Amino acid sequence: MSCCAARSPGRNLLREYLQARILAELQRAGAMLSLAFQGGTALRFLSRYSEDLDFTLERSTHPFDFRDALRAIRAAFEQEGYAVTIKLREQSAVKSAFVGFPGLPFELALSPHRDEALRVKVEIDTNPPAGAGLTSTMVRRHVLLQLHHHDRASLLAGKLHAVLHAKGRDFFDLLQRSWLAIT
Protein backbone atom coordinates (compact mmCIF):
# COMPACT_ATOMS: atom_id res chain seq x y z
CA MET A 1 0.00 0.00 0.00
CA SER A 2 1.30 3.46 -0.80
CA CYS A 3 1.99 6.13 1.80
CA CYS A 4 -0.81 8.28 0.42
CA ALA A 5 -3.37 5.47 0.58
CA ALA A 6 -2.55 4.90 4.25
CA ARG A 7 -3.28 8.58 5.05
CA SER A 8 -6.22 9.19 2.72
CA PRO A 9 -8.95 11.58 3.89
CA GLY A 10 -11.48 8.73 3.86
CA ARG A 11 -9.25 6.53 5.99
CA ASN A 12 -8.60 9.38 8.45
CA LEU A 13 -12.33 10.11 8.70
CA LEU A 14 -13.02 6.42 9.35
CA ARG A 15 -10.36 6.32 12.08
CA GLU A 16 -11.82 9.48 13.64
CA TYR A 17 -15.28 7.93 13.63
CA LEU A 18 -14.02 4.71 15.22
CA GLN A 19 -12.09 6.71 17.84
CA ALA A 20 -15.25 8.63 18.72
CA ARG A 21 -17.23 5.40 19.00
CA ILE A 22 -14.55 3.80 21.19
CA LEU A 23 -14.62 6.86 23.45
CA ALA A 24 -18.41 6.62 23.62
CA GLU A 25 -18.23 2.95 24.60
CA LEU A 26 -15.60 3.68 27.27
CA GLN A 27 -17.93 6.37 28.58
CA ARG A 28 -20.97 4.07 28.50
CA ALA A 29 -19.01 1.34 30.32
CA GLY A 30 -18.14 3.77 33.12
CA ALA A 31 -14.42 3.72 32.35
CA MET A 32 -14.25 7.49 31.95
CA LEU A 33 -14.94 7.89 35.67
CA SER A 34 -11.39 6.64 36.29
CA LEU A 35 -9.60 7.93 33.21
CA ALA A 36 -8.40 11.30 31.96
CA PHE A 37 -8.06 11.75 28.21
CA GLN A 38 -4.61 13.11 27.33
CA GLY A 39 -2.16 13.50 24.49
CA GLY A 40 -2.51 14.78 20.96
CA THR A 41 -6.03 13.57 20.36
CA ALA A 42 -7.25 15.29 23.51
CA LEU A 43 -5.91 18.65 22.33
CA ARG A 44 -9.44 19.39 21.14
CA PHE A 45 -10.40 15.87 20.15
CA LEU A 46 -8.94 15.46 16.72
CA SER A 47 -8.25 19.10 15.88
CA ARG A 48 -5.26 17.48 14.24
CA TYR A 49 -4.99 13.94 13.02
CA SER A 50 -3.89 11.46 15.64
CA GLU A 51 -3.85 7.70 15.46
CA ASP A 52 -4.25 6.72 19.10
CA LEU A 53 -6.29 7.39 22.21
CA ASP A 54 -4.16 8.13 25.29
CA PHE A 55 -5.42 8.15 28.86
CA THR A 56 -4.09 8.34 32.38
CA LEU A 57 -5.60 6.51 35.32
CA GLU A 58 -6.49 9.43 37.57
CA ARG A 59 -9.34 8.53 39.84
CA SER A 60 -8.48 5.53 41.94
CA THR A 61 -11.78 5.83 43.86
CA HIS A 62 -13.56 4.29 40.86
CA PRO A 63 -12.52 0.73 40.05
CA PHE A 64 -11.12 0.34 36.55
CA ASP A 65 -10.52 -2.86 34.61
CA PHE A 66 -9.01 -2.40 31.15
CA ARG A 67 -10.11 -5.85 30.04
CA ASP A 68 -13.73 -5.11 31.02
CA ALA A 69 -13.62 -1.84 29.09
CA LEU A 70 -12.25 -3.62 26.02
CA ARG A 71 -14.96 -6.30 26.29
CA ALA A 72 -17.59 -3.53 26.31
CA ILE A 73 -16.05 -1.97 23.20
CA ARG A 74 -15.99 -5.34 21.40
CA ALA A 75 -19.58 -6.16 22.38
CA ALA A 76 -20.94 -2.82 21.21
CA PHE A 77 -19.25 -2.99 17.81
CA GLU A 78 -20.04 -6.68 17.27
CA GLN A 79 -23.70 -6.01 18.07
CA GLU A 80 -23.68 -3.64 15.10
CA GLY A 81 -22.09 -6.25 12.82
CA TYR A 82 -18.46 -5.12 12.89
CA ALA A 83 -15.69 -7.71 12.99
CA VAL A 84 -13.42 -6.75 15.91
CA THR A 85 -10.02 -7.97 17.07
CA ILE A 86 -8.26 -6.85 20.22
CA LYS A 87 -4.57 -7.29 20.96
CA LEU A 88 -3.73 -6.41 24.55
CA ARG A 89 -0.37 -5.63 26.13
CA GLU A 90 -0.22 -5.23 29.90
CA GLN A 91 3.45 -5.86 30.73
CA SER A 92 4.23 -2.33 31.93
CA ALA A 93 2.63 0.63 33.73
CA VAL A 94 1.36 1.75 30.32
CA LYS A 95 -1.31 -0.72 29.25
CA SER A 96 -2.12 -0.74 25.55
CA ALA A 97 -4.51 -2.42 23.19
CA PHE A 98 -5.04 -2.37 19.45
CA VAL A 99 -8.73 -2.48 18.57
CA GLY A 100 -8.82 -3.79 15.01
CA PHE A 101 -11.54 -3.76 12.40
CA PRO A 102 -10.52 -6.38 9.82
CA GLY A 103 -12.00 -5.95 6.37
CA LEU A 104 -13.51 -2.54 7.10
CA PRO A 105 -11.19 -0.52 4.80
CA PHE A 106 -12.02 -2.94 1.95
CA GLU A 107 -15.76 -2.82 2.73
CA LEU A 108 -15.69 0.99 2.50
CA ALA A 109 -13.58 0.95 -0.70
CA LEU A 110 -10.58 2.47 1.10
CA SER A 111 -8.34 -0.49 0.33
CA PRO A 112 -8.11 -3.12 -2.40
CA HIS A 113 -7.04 -5.69 0.22
CA ARG A 114 -9.95 -7.72 1.56
CA ASP A 115 -8.18 -8.68 4.82
CA GLU A 116 -6.68 -5.30 5.69
CA ALA A 117 -7.61 -4.06 9.16
CA LEU A 118 -7.86 -0.54 10.49
CA ARG A 119 -6.57 -0.39 14.08
CA VAL A 120 -7.03 2.14 16.85
CA LYS A 121 -4.47 2.07 19.65
CA VAL A 122 -5.75 2.72 23.16
CA GLU A 123 -3.13 3.42 25.86
CA ILE A 124 -3.59 3.91 29.58
CA ASP A 125 -0.80 5.14 31.83
CA THR A 126 -1.64 3.48 35.15
CA ASN A 127 1.12 5.32 37.01
CA PRO A 128 1.07 8.93 35.76
CA PRO A 129 2.96 11.77 37.43
CA ALA A 130 0.95 13.52 40.12
CA GLY A 131 -0.37 17.03 39.80
CA ALA A 132 -2.21 17.12 36.48
CA GLY A 133 -5.23 19.37 36.42
CA LEU A 134 -8.46 17.81 35.22
CA THR A 135 -11.43 19.29 33.46
CA SER A 136 -14.44 18.04 31.54
CA THR A 137 -15.69 19.09 28.11
CA MET A 138 -18.77 18.21 26.08
CA VAL A 139 -17.70 17.28 22.53
CA ARG A 140 -19.78 16.34 19.50
CA ARG A 141 -17.56 14.45 17.07
CA HIS A 142 -19.74 11.85 15.31
CA VAL A 143 -21.28 11.10 18.74
CA LEU A 144 -21.93 13.20 21.84
CA LEU A 145 -19.17 12.76 24.44
CA GLN A 146 -18.53 14.13 27.91
CA LEU A 147 -14.74 13.86 28.04
CA HIS A 148 -12.70 14.07 31.24
CA HIS A 149 -9.25 15.26 30.28
CA HIS A 150 -6.15 17.07 31.42
CA ASP A 151 -6.50 20.84 31.43
CA ARG A 152 -4.56 22.93 28.90
CA ALA A 153 -1.64 23.61 31.26
CA SER A 154 -1.25 19.90 32.00
CA LEU A 155 -1.46 19.02 28.29
CA LEU A 156 1.27 21.59 27.61
CA ALA A 157 3.43 20.13 30.39
CA GLY A 158 2.95 16.66 28.88
CA LYS A 159 3.96 17.91 25.44
CA LEU A 160 7.05 19.65 26.87
CA HIS A 161 8.00 16.42 28.61
CA ALA A 162 7.61 14.52 25.34
CA VAL A 163 9.71 17.11 23.47
CA LEU A 164 12.48 16.69 26.01
CA HIS A 165 12.38 12.99 25.21
CA ALA A 166 12.60 13.73 21.46
CA LYS A 167 9.22 12.59 20.16
CA GLY A 168 8.90 14.17 16.70
CA ARG A 169 5.11 14.61 16.52
CA ASP A 170 5.13 16.33 19.91
CA PHE A 171 7.81 18.76 18.74
CA PHE A 172 5.68 19.58 15.69
CA ASP A 173 2.67 20.21 17.95
CA LEU A 174 4.68 22.51 20.17
CA LEU A 175 5.92 24.61 17.24
CA GLN A 176 2.89 24.60 14.96
CA ARG A 177 -0.28 24.44 16.99
CA SER A 178 -2.15 27.41 18.37
CA TRP A 179 -3.17 25.53 21.52
CA LEU A 180 0.11 26.69 23.05
CA ALA A 181 -1.39 30.09 23.84
CA ILE A 182 -3.02 29.29 27.15
CA THR A 183 -5.63 31.83 28.09
Instruction: Name the residue with higher pLDDT: 64 or 166.
Output: 64
Domain residue ranges in the chain: 3-175
Q: Which of 21, 15, 13 is nearest to 145 (CA)?
A: 21
Q: Could you tell me if 85 and 70 are in contact, meaning their C-beta atoms sit under 8 angstroms apart? A: no
Q: Characterize 47-71 residue by residue with b for buried, 16 or more Cβ atoms within 10 angstroms of its Cβ, and e for exposed.
A: eeebebbbbbbbeeeeebebeebbe
Q: What is the pLDDT of residue 37?
A: 77
Q: Could you tell me if 43 and 147 are in contact, meaning their C-beta atoms sit under 8 angstroms apart? A: no
pLDDT in tens, 113-123: 999 999 999 99
Mean pLDDT of the chain: 79
pTM for the full predicted model = 0.75
Instruction: Name the residue with higher pLDDT: 104 or 140.
Output: 104
* Residue type at position 5: A
Rounded CA separation 66/161 (Å): 25
